[in-house]
Chains A and B, each alone.
Chain A
Amino acid sequence: MLAVSELSFERYFERVFEPVSFELDAGSLLLITGSNGCGKTTLLRLLAGLLEPSEGEISKSEQPLYAGHFPAIKDDLSVQENIRFWMKFMGTRKSGQMTGLCEQVIEEIGLTPVALQEGRTLSAGQRKRCSLARLLFCDESLWLLDEPYSNLDPQGIAMLDQILKTHLNAGGACIMTTHGSLRPEGFDLQECHMISGRERYAGAAA
């Protein structure tokens, strides 16, 4: 589904991270670990296609779904209006009435109580849930999730795990980043540890 070979990216003419290589098959979950600033987000953005690699190659069978740091929620629109827009804009594999579908999605991510509230009133955890809504209505098989567990409460984490399990069982794949203790439990994981360019440089100079 995705193969990466000696991939790296440069900023300010330095490598952000040391070259990485891995392969991902259907049904797999890849966890990207590394210290803060080692380039995990940059790697995901490379895989998503927002950045062009400076070195190495990416070969992917399809365009992945990317859920990054920014939740892509408009402050001025309600949760429902936000999700409705994305459903209309991105298209959804589910058929049926848009309103009903929208309510269903909001229910699944547990935001029904605040469905009509404006984006600006949401807490960080609620924003995270809202940004994960796209996992429910987009039909990409490959997911790129940047620190998806951050800001989620235990129910949120359980919800995400459930969504993830369903996705993987259906033949999807997922790459997620984490910088610390928040790791997916109970999954069969691949891991890839990243080293920042600076770390390597410091190591070489020592």
Chain B
Amino acid sequence: MNPIYLFFHKTGSPPWFYKYSGKLVPFLWAIFLVLAAYGLYLGLVVAPADYQQGESVRIMYLHVPSAWMSMMIYGLMAIMGFIALVWRIRIMEVLVISSAPVGAAFTAIALITGSLWGRPTWGTYWVWDARLTSELVLLFLYFGVILLYNAFDEPRKAARAASLMSIVGAINLPIIYFSVEWWNTLHQGSSMGSDGPGIHPSMLLPLLLMATATKFYYGANLLTRARLTLLKQDHRKRWVQDLLTEESH
């Protein structure tokens, strides 16, 4: 049999996935902690304050990576959702629905940090600028997927519905983003909150570190959630029973 097919078939098998992701997760957490610690240190302590915005610019090290992750995760959900729907691979279904809460959390963090950043910069906690507005609509898209998943009784059907919705949402996402950008220029002229003409290298490094750290956070969180979901879903099956008896020895 085709080895590629075998590989997907194997990784699609829940016990196999559970075992090997379990080995991976601690490494992911470790890398995340190291990168995040170093990145935050560089960003909050070492890097210079901004010429215009002062110390408050440091929120950027949380806000920007979160915003990037919020969009990346939705895109990943769509890709995994597509695979899940077309090839009916259960593991993909589980990964899609495990990603949604993480993505929503990053979106919320982006919104909250964006809002906190706005206070010293613009004087209010909220303005309808392009980025914040897009993030808000993205949050609603995430809520839609999560609520849709929870509305169905049967878990696999629910996961497939959520997958379809995330594909539809992902296709619309660039359109939404650009239309909001355009709407913003229409109504406000140039927006606040952009990073300026160029970013200083001493600010770039912590930013990239945080961006990478968030990816490892996502990976660790995703795998942990997925493993838990698999255990819950398969609790009657042999492989879970075996695991439990193993662990009790």
Contact = CB atoms under 8 A, between A and B. Distances in A.
Contacts of A13: 155-156, 233-234, 236-237
B236 A52 contact: no
A48 B221 CA distance: 41
Interface in B210-249: 233-234, 236-237
Contact of A11 (B88, B154, B236): B154
A10 to B, nearest CB: 8
Interface residues of A, number: 6
Contacts of B234: 13
Interface in A69-96: none
- Give the interface centre of A11, A13, A14 by most chain B CB atoms within 10 Å: A13
Interface residues on B, range: under 10
Interface in A12-29: 12-14
Contacts of B154: 11-12
Interface in B128-175: 154-156
B90 to A, nearest CB: 9
Contacts of A12: 154-155
Nearest to B230: A13
Contacts of A11: 154
A14 B233 CA distance: 10
A52 B84 CA distance: 14
Interface of B: 88, 154-156, 233-234, 236-237
Given A13-B236, A14-B236, 10 more contacts: A10-B156, A11-B154, A12-B154, A12-B155, A13-B155, A13-B156, A13-B233, A13-B234, A13-B237, A52-B88
